[in-house]
A and B are shown apart, each in its own frame.
Chain A
Amino acid sequence: MHERQRSTGSLLFQAFSLMVVVALLSLAAYPSLLHAEPPLKKASLIPLWSPQAQFAGYYVALEKGLYRRYGVELTILNGGSGNSPVEALQSGRADYAVMWLTTALRHRDAGIRLVNISQVIQRSSMMLISRKSSWIDSLQGMNGKKVGLWDGDLSIPPLTLFSRRGITIRQVPLTNTVNLFLRGGIDVTSAMWYNEYHVILNSGVDADELNAVFLSEQGVNFPEDGIYGLEKTVKGDPALAAAIADASREGWQYAFDHPEEALDIVMKYMLRAHVPANRMHQKWMLNRMRDIIMPGAAFGKLPSGTLDRKDYHDAGNAMQRAGLIGGYPDYADFTWRHDAVQ
């Protein structure tokens, strides 16, 4: 999730220009479409971070023309440092954004009226990792230790957990590498299962040398990536929101059904964004995405895109108790199409 990335302004411009050129070319090639089909609705989506398999479903849906099939001419903006999804929504630069539930709740509490149109990741994939050699073999063992946490919203789940268990830590701000942990600068690092955990393994540390604690197994199972829009955007064109949600979901299904093709697409977007690209790492990430997007048979054949009501309340309650938010809205107020699905 946290990869280094370059300045994205020019790339954004390039991508946008490309889209425009493609759109014009297709219109020129098929002038009859102009009259036969309803015009495509323009929309933009900003992922939480720069291109990687965490967002494979969106890139695949775009590349395979799924959004167009749903009548949307979607632009995927570059995420990453300096491209806060919430800010992009607020400024009107993006119509929709991928962000965590905890982030959305915090911003909602701060008065930004975000609405969840699709819950993509159904379980938390956040972990706390320590080395066995540092003799930390349980959560309680982390008391008083130097723990690396990302700044901002991404520290909400571990802080919630520590607060719930009464554990005091020495918080060290984490950047976007695992080097501080690898060099022994911190005792514990927070990590995403689909990303940093694998980066650590691929820095030569074997899995059996690590204590890896899943937050979800400690009762902090906050759903992560969801697609959000401002209330006014969603209510202004619910059909567009539905189209984006459905096409994205179909994109994910296609990515899981054709992992190698999905990886090709992701790698292409990564190279285009000048992001360090390692196919094996992306493969790991895509596989873990399947694990957390489609967690078990209960969810059936497709990621439902539905935010589980209980998960929602658990997250809201926990954040409220930890003093991170003053309160949280009704489930019905926060989610979209709730009546259609549940």
Chain B
Amino acid sequence: MRFSKSIVIRMIVVITLCSAGIFAVTLVVNYLQSRSMLEMELEKNARNLASSLANRVDAELVSVAKVTEGMARSLDTAEYSREGLVSLIGSMLDANPSVYGSAIAFEPYAFNKQERLYAPYLFRDEGAVKAIRLDASYRYVPYLYQDWYQIPVELQAPVWSEPYFDDGGGNATMATCSVPFYYSSGGKQDVKGVVSADIRLDSLTQLISSVRILKTGYAMLLSRNGMVLTHPDSSFIMNESIFSIAEERRDPVLREMGRKMIGGESGFVHHSLTDEPGWMYYAPIRSTGWTLAVVFPEAELFENVRSLSLTMAGIGTGGLLLLALVVAMVTRSITIPIRALASATGPMASGNFDVELPAVRSNDEIGMLTRSFRMMGESLKEYIRDLTETTAQKERIQSELQMATDIQASLLPRIFPAFPERPEFDIFASMDAAKEVGGDFYDFFFIDDSHLCFLIADVADKGVPAALYMMVAKTLLKSEAQRLRDPGVILEHVNNILAEDNESCMFATVFCAILDTASGELIFSNAGHNPPLLVGSGGVRYLDVKPGFLLGPVPDSRYETERITLRNGDVFFLYTDGVTEAKNREDELFGEQRLLEILQGDFSMAVEDMVHAVRSRVTEFAEGAAQSDDITMVSLQYTGNGI
């Protein structure tokens, strides 16, 4: 249950998070790219807007400047009466409705020698044109020291003044275009006076504020000194300069920008002179050295992008929720049968293969898994049935084999000393089968009172077939020995019997010997068996016996009977290749030399000890390696005739 839940949660978390990540990146990239596209578009628009607006303002100012210049030039050349001057100004005002007022102001005593100052001024006053004299109306600061007069005189050049409130003159906030006019005497020019034309600031403001820039954007006019001339916040107008705003905000960037603005540069910057961030394009108004700036509030500008992004974010969030839901459903549809399978696993593991499995509803992996699970259950059931049967069979065979082992063991003479009533010799034998039943065997029996027949044999292969073959061979050898009394003949007869119907081509090696207990004469014949060892007072040696052919596969083999005479104490030692071919862990053979050395060690050993010694050395040599062949030894010591 917990596992399936965790899969659901993991799937939801992983898929939703991945999707959210991809979505967020897409959203951000989209937003930024849209912004940057908008910004590029905006810069173009702003530049066009600011330039066209600046040009409109400039055109108006230039026309005023031209008219003023024209008047000044006519004053250079002609002398006017008082009436002439007034009518000159009046006709100029009539012809130029954008001009608010105009004055012709003379240097001291320049108009006539009797009058120090003379400056007729005409301005529009409630629809009519009113004429006054500035030399009289400026009460405290004579017109000579007003910027509009003094600066062009000092510079001897036409000048647009900083906007100012004309106290005593036009009584309005205005900017004045002033052009000096001159005496010309003897090629030298002296300033005779100044012609001025005023533009009301509010008419410029109207022109500029008539331009709509989005909803809350605005155009702004800055004077040559950076003074704010139009601004949505009227408290800024004529009070704040871009530099005072920069100072208040401790914004050196804005100050630097202001210097560029009044320096006649144009530019597109991310800045606004209000608290709202915005984009501003500024361009110079050439004739006055003023600056026109259009400000696009950022919030409004990117409103569409933002609202689009918000909509996308909303859709994306909804989509993610839906995705999570779908993932949950799909994952649950997967995990429910898995969960059912998981809960079926417990009973099945404990052997209940008839537990109910979920129905296969689809052909997908889960369906396959369920089918495989069902098949697995069936196969397991069948396998266990077979296994039970096999196990029972194996147990039966095992018990039968055990019986066979016992029978085989009982076939070999096991009681030692075997012939306690016969002092002439001592005999000891042992057989360790590699499997339950073995192919090696030995035997010894008297064929008459003084002749002991003893033999050792090794049937090829091991296990039950070898054991059966051994039984036959042993029985034949014993019966033929008692009848024929000559080892070569015995082997020949037994070979012929075995060779008949030997379809399985089983064979055995046999070493058969008959000891005359009275004389110590030993006759023997070998059918392919390992050479015996003779241990006597003169040492230990392998007997150089005739090999003879294996018993069983080929009929009519000849076996020679050889003879030696044992002296008192001589030991005749027989063994199977299980001894010499025993292997250790390094696959090394025990070998004939080792066997020889053991027997050399102490030839006064009793026959039983001799066999045990060899057996223990072989075990020691094997170092725990599995015994691959039956190990069989027969050791006989002749002690009989007292020589």
Q: Is the pairing of A and B real?
A: yes
A contact residues vs B (CB 8 Å cutoff): 4-7, 81-82, 146, 151, 172-177, 179-180, 182-186, 201-204, 206, 276-281
A130 to chain B, nearest CB (A): 15
Nearest neighbor of A150 in chain B, beta-carbon distance: B145
Distance, CA A278 to CA B238, complexed state (A):
9
Cα-based distance from A176 to B138 in the complex (angstroms):
14
Identify which of B145, B162, B165, B226 gathers the most chain A CB atoms within 10 Å of its CB.
B145
Is B155's CB under 8 angstroms from A183's CB? yes
Given A202-B247, A281-B244, residue A173 in contact with residue B239 (CB < 8 A): no
In the assembled complex, the Cα of A170 lies from the Cα of B161 at a distance in Å of: 23
Give every chain B residue within 8 A of A175 (Cβ-Cβ).
141, 145-147, 150
Neighbour of B145 across the interface among A7, A173, A184, CB < 8 A: A173
The minimal Cβ–Cβ distance linking B605 to chain A, given in whole angstroms, is 124
Does B302 sit within 8 A of A, measured CB to CB? no
Complex: how many Å from CA A281 to CA B238?
A: 13
**New A-B pairs, 16, CB < 8 Å, besides A203-B243, A281-B244:** A6-B165, A174-B145, A176-B141, A177-B162, A179-B151, A179-B162, A184-B155, A203-B262, A204-B241, A204-B242, A204-B255, A204-B258, A204-B259, A276-B238, A278-B240, A280-B247
Contact yes or no, A202 B226, CB < 8 A: yes
CA distance A211 to B154 in the complex (A): 22
- Are the CB atoms of B244 and A4 closer together than 8 Å? no
Partner of A186 from B154, B161, B239 at Cβ < 8 Å: B154
**Closest residue of A by beta carbon distance from B223:** A203
Pick from B140, B151, B165: contact of A180, CB under 8 Å: B151
Cα separation A276 to B237 with both chains bound (whole Å):
9
Is B446 at the interface (CB under 8 A from chain A)?
no
Chain A residues whose C-beta falls within 8 Å of the C-beta of B162 in the assembled complex: 177, 179
B159 within 8 A of A: yes
**B225 on interface, CB distance cutoff 8 Å:** yes
A25 to chain B, nearest CB (A): 30
- Nearest-Cβ distance from residue B219 to partner chain A, whole angstroms: 21
B161: nearest chain-A partner, CB-CB: A179
Known: A4-B165, A179-B151, A180-B147. A276 touches B262 (CB 8 A): no
Give the contacts of B230-283 with A (CB-CB under 8 A).
238-244, 247-248, 255, 258-259, 262
- Distance A206 CA – B226 CA, assembled complex (angstroms): 13
Q: A175-B145, A204-B226 are in contact. Are A280 and B244 (CB under 8 A)?
A: yes
- In this complex, what residue of B is CB-closest to A2? B141
- In the assembled complex, which residues on chain A have CB atoms less than 8 Å from the CB atom of B259? 204, 206
Q: A82-B139, A279-B248 are in contact. Are A203 and B225 (CB under 8 A)?
A: yes
Tell me whether B164 is interfacial, beta carbon within 8 Å.
Answer: yes
Could you give 19 example pairs across A and B, Cβ below 8 Å? Answer: A4-B164, A6-B165, A173-B150, A175-B141, A175-B150, A177-B147, A177-B164, A179-B161, A180-B150, A184-B155, A185-B150, A185-B154, A201-B243, A202-B226, A202-B243, A202-B247, A203-B226, A206-B259, A277-B239
Q: Is the CB of B154 within 8 A of A180?
A: yes
Complex formed: what's the CA distance from A146 to B154 in Å?
10
Q: With A6-B165, A82-B139 in contact, is A204–B243 under 8 Å at CB?
A: yes
Q: Is the interface of A mostly helix, strand, loop or mixed?
A: loop
Q: With a CB–CB cut-off of 8 A, which chain B residues contact A277?
A: 239
B146 to chain A, nearest CB (A): 7
* Residue total for B at the interface (Cβ-Cβ under 8 A): 33
Measured between alpha carbons, how far is A198 from B603 in the docked complex, in Å? 134
Chain B residue contacts of A276, Cβ below 8 A = 238-239
Chain B residues with CB under 8 Å of A184's CB are 155
> Whose C-beta in chain A lies nearest to the C-beta of B242?
A204
Q: Return A52 CB to nearest CB of chain B, in Å.
A: 13
List residues of B (131-155) whose CB comes within 8 Å of A's CBs. 139-141, 144-147, 150-151, 154-155
Known: A4-B164, A6-B167. A202 touches B147 (CB 8 A): no
Q: Bound state CA distance, A174 and B145, in angstroms?
A: 7
Residue of B with least CB distance to A183: B151
Q: CA A146 – CA B151 in complex, angstroms?
A: 13
Q: How far is B148's CA from A185's CA once the two chains are assembled, in angstroms? A: 12
The answer to whether B145 touches A278, judged by C-beta atoms less than 8 angstroms apart, is no
Give the CA-CA distance A180 to B145 in the complex, in Å.
Answer: 10
CA distance A179 to B227 in the complex (A): 12
Residues of the A chain whose Cβ atoms lie less than 8 Å from the Cβ of B150: 172-173, 175, 180, 185
Q: Which of A173, A184, A202, A279 has the most CB of B within 10 A?
A: A202
Top-4 shortest CB links A-B = A185-B154, A81-B140, A203-B225, A202-B243
Docked Cα-Cα span, A146 to B145, in Å, equals 15
**In whole angstroms, how far apart are the Cα atoms of A118 and B616 in the complex?**
135
Q: A180-B151, A185-B150, A186-B154 are in contact. Are A81 and B141 (CB under 8 A)?
A: yes
B225 partner residues in chain A, CB cutoff 8 A: 179, 182, 203-204
**Across-interface contacts of B258 in A (CB, < 8 A):** 204
CA distance A82 to B150 in the complex (A): 20
Specify the chain A residue showing the minimal Cβ separation from B144: A173
Q: Are B239 and A278 in contact (CB under 8 A)?
A: yes
Smallest beta-carbon distance B191→chain A, Å: 12
Indicate whether A202 sits within 8 Å of B161 (C-beta atoms), given known contacts A184-B155, A186-B154: no
Q: What chain A residues lie within 8 Å of B165 (beta carbons)?
A: 4, 6
Per a CB cutoff under 8 Å, which of B139, B159, B241 touches A183? B159
Kindly supply a per-residue 1/0 record for chain B positions 156-188, scoring 1 wherever the CB is within 8 Å of any chain A CB and 0 otherwise: 000101101101000000000000000000000
Chain B residues, Cβ within 8 Å of A176: 141
**Nearest residue, chain A, Cβ from B167:** A6
**A278 with B244, Cβ < 8 A, contacts A175-B145, A179-B225, A204-B262 known:** yes
A4 cross-chain contacts in B, Cβ below 8 A: 164-165, 167
Q: Which residues of A contact B151 (CB under 8 A)?
A: 179-180, 183, 185
Query: What's the Cα separation between A58 and B43 when bound, in Å?
Result: 51
In the bound complex, residues from chain B placing their C-beta under 8 Å from that of A202 are 226, 241, 243-244, 247
In angstroms, how far is the closest chain B Cβ from the Cβ of A84? 10
Tell me, in angstroms, the Cα distance from A279 to B239 when the chains sit together.
9
Contacts of A185 in B (CB 8 A): 150-151, 154-155
What distance in Å separates the Cβ of A156 from its nearest Cβ neighbour in chain B?
Answer: 18
**A173 surroundings in chain B (CB, below 8 A):** 144-145, 150
Q: How far is the CA of A172 from the CA of B144 in the complex (A)?
A: 11
Contacts of A201 in B (CB 8 A): 243
List A contacts of B262 (CB < 8 A): 203-204
A154 to B635, CA, bound (A): 152
Query: Closest B-chain residue to A5, C-beta based?
Result: B167
Minimal beta-carbon separation of B171 from chain A (angstroms): 9
Chain B minimum-CB-distance residue to A174 = B145
| 371-386 of chain B: CB within 8 A of chain A | none
A179 lies within 8 A of B243 (CB): no
Q: Which residues of B contact A186 (CB under 8 A)?
A: 154
Docked Cα-Cα span, A269 to B262, in Å, equals 31
- A7, A172, A174, A179 — most chain B CB neighbours (10 Å): A179
User: What residue in chain B is nearest A172 (Cβ atoms)?
Assistant: B154
Residues of chain B within 8 A of A7, CB atoms compared:
167
* Alpha-carbon separation in the docked complex, A5 to B166 (Å): 10
Given A82-B140, A179-B162, answer yes or no on A203-B147 (Cβ-Cβ < 8 Å).
Answer: no
Contacts of B247 in A (CB 8 A): 202, 280
Q: Which residues of B contact A179 (CB under 8 A)?
A: 147, 151, 161-162, 225
Which residues of the partner chain A approach B224 to less than 8 Å between Cβ atoms?
182
Across the interface, which residues of A come within 8 angstroms of B238, CB to CB? 276
A173: min CB distance to chain B, Å: 5
**Interchain CB contact under 8 A, A203 and B159:** no
Separation in Å of the A258 CB from the closest CB of chain B? 19
In the complex, how many angstroms separate the beta carbon of B216 from the nearest chain A beta carbon?
A: 24
In the complex the two chains form, what is the Cα distance from A206 to B311 in whole Å?
49
- Roughly how many angstroms separate A27 CA and B424 CA in the complex, as a whole number? 167
